[in-house]
Structure 1
Amino acid sequence: MAEWSWVAYTVLEVLIAAACCFGNVLVMCAVCFGIRDSLREPTFCFLVSLAVADFLVGVAAVPLAVLLDGWVSLIPELCLLLSCVVLVLTQASVLSLLAIAVDRYLRLHTPLRYKALATQRHTWIGVSVCWMLSCLLGFTPLFGWHNYSSPASDSTNTSSTSFIRPPCTFLSVISLPFMVYFNFLGCVMAPLLVMTLLYTRIFWSLQGRLKDSCPQSRASLLREKRLACSLALVLILFAGCWIPLHLMNCLLLFQGPQAVTQGTLYTGILLSHANSAVNPVIYACRIPKIQQAYGQLWRRFLAWLNCCHREKAGSQVINMQLSH
């Protein structure tokens, strides 16, 4: 790829990383401090989990994507470990979305049991399970499904040139069959299909209830439908941003390196990372409670600026009086 194209790719990655960090910190602050008792609601706990994963994409995944593009030479084990971090964060996003879908489904279809199930303790156990499963699935290549050979097997067939380490790239250590058969089909597509079925059931049920509802319950059902639409939109955007990159991996596996140009691959990587920057915008535009929390944070920020300005002005007046 031309040098100017690589520079454009790097600049866009930096901008995406900054947007991921700022937007998702804002989401976490809005939910944790701006919405009263929000962490008692499972949906918002899982939204915080998703925001943490998206924030870590900006902090870790994007810098690693730029770094693991042949710019550094690392021992294969370290290169593999850093590459797996990206897989862990992707899996955490998928499982957080799945947990949100399950929560909305249970809330709608088992309202009597839901209050007993959706306690704060159970919710945080669910968040912990999501992250533990993400680590287990994302670090699977460390247990043997990777591209490089062990040092013992290499030592019998290599010469002194073996001490020259090749550049570290994602696909130099992560197996394409692993990415296609295990990660894409098993860890991404299977949960996405389950979530699609759950949201289909949710919308079908809500539509039927709205037809037969009384005016008192209609407002509550409409709020539930609006929230479900917003969360489904987050799911659709996740699929739209990540599936193209996985389809490119399928082409690389079945047709070889010539099937996907480097520029196209970089576009897919940028699109997948951009998903983590888009989610906070969706929350702000579509979820009323988060809109209100953003407003409260903004007012507090303006009040803090005003207070600082007054203190500064007051200190200047005092200094002028003392000087005279």
Structure 2
Amino acid sequence: METFGETELCFPQLLNASCLKPKRPHFEATLTYMLVYSIALITAVLNLLVIISISHFKQLHTPTNLLLLSLAVSDFFVGLLMFFQIMFIDGCWYLGDIMCTLYQYLAYVITSTSAGTMVLISVDRYVAICRPLHYSAEITKHRVKVCVCLCWICSIIFQTLNLQDVLKQPGQYNSCFGECVFFINYIGGVSDLIFTFILPITVIVVLYMRVFVVVLSQARAMRSHVAAVSLQRSVKVTKKSELKATRTLGFVIVVFLICLCPYYCVALTGQDNLLNGSSAAVVLCLYYFNSCLNPVIYAFLYPWFRKSIQLIVTLQILQPDSCDANMW
């Protein structure tokens, strides 16, 4: 029998019970680690800036921004989880079965919460564009807070039921020490596919198609000067603001779907629901990268976010009454 060197085993002291550690060129390994840690750090920091901005400045306490706050919280946790992702790339999991199960559980909860938040954002944009006269009455901060809380609670309960086999006996699907296998049974996989991917995408597409039709009709109406001349300026300013927000959030949703699709495309092919470390690393890294892109999109398209970053970095938020600063 061939004897493996210490560099080839995750836990050399366990001999044949340990998983093999794949050998990688030093330069490739160093570059990969630096890339993953850099993305994780940027993701956590940028989303923390979004959280601080919306939470601190009163002028940003709008229903739409509360939804962005929920998304930023989930993206912030994604940034923290990415620090553990390096072990998947390295090929060995050193934190034990319980931490592996917790890592899997949090990843699923965050994914379903993000999908639910995207649906709420789509509903917000639908009402803002298609029912503008009813927006202030139907979309209130209190209702948004309730919906966000329900989204998180339902995600936790849903994924607890889906992953109950793994939660009851952590590590039961691992074949050796140093492995962290992502497993979900057939029923759980189908329900996760339906409620976290198919239904949210269907709702998002239907709502944004409706928004797109209304936007086109409004554009034609404005070009043909249907609105009264005396009201045209105020109406135009309001519509321009809403259309810009809709365009920005639509871009966020498109990027989210692109990054989330690979995992569920694998699920749709009917392949084994058992994902090993390497395949899980690929699909998770792509999804995690989306959490880094969201605040970057805000920075380019939202002036208030750029201004809030300036106030935070220069520590002006520590001044009295800084929460009342004008962010527009």
Is TM-score (shorter-chain normalized) higher than 0.5?
Answer: yes
Higher helix content, 1 or 2: 1
TM-score, normalised relative to structure 1: 0.74
Matches within 5 A, 1:36-185: 36-39=58-61, 41-59=62-80, 61-67=81-87, 70-72=92-94, 74-75=96-97, 79-144=100-165, 146=166, 166-171=177-182, 174-175=183-184, 177=186, 180-185=189-194
Q: What displacement does 1:84 show?
A: 0.8
SS at match of 1:72: coil
Larger CA deviation: 196-205 vs 106-115 = 106-115
Q: What displacement does 1:234 show?
A: 0.6
Match of 2:284 in 1: 269
Q: What displacement does 1:150 show?
A: 9.6
Can you list the C-alpha shifts for 1:165-198, whole angstroms capped at 9, x where unaligned? 7444132xx2263574222333123202211111
Q: What displacement does 1:239 show?
A: 1.0
Within the candidate set 282, 296, 299, 1:284 is matched to 299
Q: What displacement does 1:270 show?
A: 1.8
Within the candidate set 253, 258, 263, 1:240 is matched to 258
Structure showing greater radius of gyration is 1
Conserved? CA contact 1:74–1:165, under 8 Å: no
2:248 aligned partner, one-letter code: S
Match of 2:56 in 1: 33
Can you list the C-alpha shifts for 1:233-271, whole angstroms capped at 9, x where unaligned? 1111111112123324555x52798xx997665333221
SS at match of 1:116: helix
1:22 aligned partner, one-letter code: V
What runs of 5+ residues in structure 1 fail to find an aligned partner? 155-163, 305-324
Can you list the C-alpha shifts for 1:250-300, whole angstroms capped at 9, x where unaligned? 55x52798xx99766533322111111111000111123323333444555
Conserved? CA contact 2:184–2:273, under 8 Å: no
Can you list the C-alpha shifts for 1:102-152, whole angstroms capped at 9, x where unaligned? 1121223333433233232222111111111121222223434x598799x
Q: Distance in 1 between matches of 2:191 and 2:198?
A: 10
Q: Distance in 1 between matches of 2:162 and 2:92?
A: 20
Match of 2:7 in 1: none
Cα distance 1:284–1:222, how it changes in 2: closer, same or farther (>3 A)?
same
TM-score, normalised relative to structure 2: 0.74
Q: Distance in 1 between matches of 2:210 and 2:116?
A: 19
Q: What displacement does 1:207 show?
A: 1.7
Conserved? CA contact 2:256–2:290, under 8 Å: yes
Cα distance 1:293–1:211, how it changes in 2: closer, same or farther (>3 A)?
farther
Conserved? CA contact 1:23–1:277, under 8 Å: yes
RMSD: 3.4
Q: Distance in 1 between matches of 2:313 and 2:93?
A: 40
Can you list the C-alpha shifts for 1:78-113, whole angstroms capped at 9, x where unaligned? 643431111011111111111111112122333343
Conserved? CA contact 1:180–1:246, under 8 Å: no
What runs of 5+ residues in structure 2 fail to find an aligned partner? 1-21, 320-328
SS at match of 2:271: helix
1:12 aligned partner, one-letter code: L
Q: Distance in 1 between matches of 2:281 and 2:32?
A: 7
Q: What displacement does 1:67 show?
A: 4.7
Aligned residue-pair number: 283
Q: Distance in 1 between matches of 2:242 and 2:285?
A: 33
1:54 aligned partner, one-letter code: D
Q: Distance in 1 between matches of 2:39 and 2:242?
A: 31
